[in-house]
């Protein structure tokens, strides 16, 4: 049963036992010696035992006092470790950062920021969780990640949304469809060719499907894949025309292994968003990472 003793009394007891002197304990705690004596007396009265005996050099623990000290010493060590740990977390010397996102956004957008963050805060452990936009939102609400990196738009009252990097989707093809170079296709003409799309739950897939549906056209891909790397590779090998963010195929377009297949309707641009829970305070590591991205992006906050 708890006796409700003030923690400060234990601290006085600890330093008196550790130094063997009420005077030294008073100096350590910035108290007067009578205050230290009174604190010890309060503990002895509560427990009904004598904790110290007087000696010519100060005080020493009685048998009962030694038993109490064995426990209090451990608690003081744990408290000191806790204080050191909290200081380390505050100074970003330790801790963890859990980020959710797609493989493509990690590779083509977040990776440089992760490198910078790791260089600045090597003591912070990084945990990357891969998934589609709905999965990332689920991870965030379940507390499995600190922040999510997804394609916009996202409308959810539980989430804080910070828009960052802009993406522009396009259709690309490889050498097998070289005869299409210089051509501008209608959506109807595009559907004559095999289309390669990302999985149904992806934001990019939803966006292009909505565009076709708005014009009364069914969009049935020949091939569905789960990664942007496969979208790119399959297009390069001539298995169809892939729909992908132009920023993710910059190298392939420059090298000429892929070319853009323009269409006669504008494809809406998309933004990458940083998601956090509105009701959950950010950790120091998460705040530092978002600040790092903010220095490299034109962040537009949108608290929805």
Domain residue limits at 41: 7-90
Do the domain assignments include residue 28?
yes
Same domain, 200 and 111: no
Q: CA 299 from chain center: how many Å?
A: 17
Res. 4 pLDDT band, cuts 50 70 90: low
Domain end position, chosen among 90, 111, 137: 90
DSSP for 64-97, please give it: HHHHHHHHHHHHHHHHHHHHHHHHHHHTTSS-EE
Same domain, 30 and 78: yes
- What local confidence, expressed as pLDDT, does residue 297 receive? 55
Please choose, from the candidates 281, 283, 265, 277, the residue with its C-alpha nearest in 3D space to the C-alpha of residue 304.
277
**Mean pLDDT of all residues in 253-260:** 96
Residue 257's CATH number: 3.40.190.10
Same domain, 11 and 76: yes
Domain end position, chosen among 90, 116, 136: 90
Q: How many domains does the chain have?
A: 3
**Mean pLDDT of all residues in 216-235:** 93
pLDDT at 303 over 50: no
pLDDT at 100 over 50: yes
Same domain, 184 and 208: yes
Do the domain assignments include residue 2?
no
Same domain, 104 and 80: no
Same domain, 149 and 281: yes
Res. 299 pLDDT band, cuts 50 70 90: very low
- What local confidence, expressed as pLDDT, does residue 2 receive? 47
Residue-averaged pLDDT of the chain: 89
Output 132 or 40, whichever has higher pLDDT: 40
Same domain, 160 and 184: no
Same domain, 296 and 161: yes
Same domain, 157 and 279: yes
- What local confidence, expressed as pLDDT, does residue 79 receive? 84
Res. 296 pLDDT band, cuts 50 70 90: low
Do the domain assignments include residue 1?
no
**Mean pLDDT of all residues in 4-24:** 89
């Amino acid at each position: 049963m708890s006796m409700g003793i003030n923690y400060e009394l234990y601290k006085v007891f600890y330093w008196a036992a550790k130094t063997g002197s009420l005077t030294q304990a008073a100096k350590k705690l910035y108290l007067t010696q009578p205050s230290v004596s009174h604190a010890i007396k309060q503990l002895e009265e509560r427990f009904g035992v004598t904790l110290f005996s007087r000696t010519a050099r100060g005080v020493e623990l009685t048998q009962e006092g030694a038993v109490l000290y064995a426990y209090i010493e451990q608690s003081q060590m744990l408290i000191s470790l806790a204080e050191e740990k909290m200081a380390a977390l505050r100074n970003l010397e330790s801790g963890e950062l859990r980020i959710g996102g797609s493989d493509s956004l990690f590779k083509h957008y977040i990776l440089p920021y992760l490198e910078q963050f790791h260089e600045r805060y090597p003591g912070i452990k990084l945990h990357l969780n891969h998934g589609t936009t709905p999965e990332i939102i689920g991870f965030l609400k379940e507390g499995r990640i600190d922040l999510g990196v997804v394609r916009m738009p996202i409308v959810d009252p539980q989430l804080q949304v910070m828009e960052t990097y802009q993406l522009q989707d396009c259709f690309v093809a490889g050498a097998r469809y070289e005869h299409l170079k210089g051509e501008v296709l209608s959506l109807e003409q595009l559907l004559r060719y095999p289309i390669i799309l990302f999985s149904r739950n992806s934001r990019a897939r939803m966006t292009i499907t909505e565009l076709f549906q708005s014009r009364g056209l069914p969009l049935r891909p020949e091939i569905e894949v789960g990664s942007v790397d496969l979208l790119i590779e399959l297009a390069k090998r001539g298995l169809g025309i892939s729909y992908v963010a132009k920023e993710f195929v910059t190298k392939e377009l420059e090298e000429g292994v892929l070319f853009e297949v323009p269409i006669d309707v504008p494809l809406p641009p998309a933004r990458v968003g940083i998601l956090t829970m509105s009701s959950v305070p950010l950790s120091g590591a998460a705040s530092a990472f978002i600040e790092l991205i903010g220095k490299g992006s034109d962040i537009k906050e949108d608290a929805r």
